[in-house]
Amino acid sequence: LLGDADAVGEIIVRLIDAGSQDGAKDEEDSALLGLQLCFDIVDSGDQAFASGVASRLPKESDTASGAAVVEGAAAAGDSVEVDDGGNAAPPSGAANEQGVEVETKARSETGMRHFGNAHKILTGGF
């Protein structure tokens, strides 16, 4: 995994997603572990790697654009997946502004806040 920004980014996404769901403290610890991993990546001193990992993280705009696609699909009569909480899930496979394909799905406000913090950590925005 060392040097594979895509794989590390995916691990961070899974950790933060798992820790951003309502539930037990163990789930919250997962998100905190994802954020700690971001700090560790920055501490490694490889800014190019940190930027590569940051480009794999979803951003509010990724989710918002995915939601717009879902609303458009629903209006056109296409099928739209809905999760257990009644949230429509945008289609996966959208690209962020760097052109990197990221998974877009309905995420909680807490989850998006965690992703925003992770991005700030990795890009020096704090």
| Alpha carbons 80 and 69: distance in angstroms, whole number | 10
Tens digit of each residue's pLDDT (9 = 90 or more) over 94-122: 454 545 454 556 788 888 999 999 999 99
Residue 109 confidence (pLDDT): 87
Amino acid in position 36: Q
Those residues whose C-beta lies under 8 Å from the C-beta of residue 92, and which sit 6 or more positions away, are 103, 104, 105
- The separation between the first and the last C-alpha atoms of the chain, rounded to the nearest angstrom, is 26
Confidence of residue 5 (pLDDT cuts 50, 70, 90): very high
User: In this structure, is the dihedral angle defined by the CA atoms of residues 14, 18, 19 and 22, taken in order, positive or negative?
Assistant: positive
Tens digit of each residue's pLDDT (9 = 90 or more) over 11-68: 999 999 988 776 656 678 899 999 999 999 999 999 999 999 999 999 876 655 444 4
Tens digit of each residue's pLDDT (9 = 90 or more) over 82-98: 444 444 444 444 454 54
How would DSSP label each residue in 77-126?
T----B-TTSPBPPPS-EE-TTS-EE------HHHHHHHHHHHHHHHT--
Those residues whose C-beta lies under 8 Å from the C-beta of residue 104, and which sit 6 or more positions away, are 58, 62, 63, 65, 66, 90, 91, 92, 93, 94
Confidence of residue 75 (pLDDT cuts 50, 70, 90): very low
Residue 21 confidence (pLDDT): 74
Q: pTM score, two decimals? A: 0.65
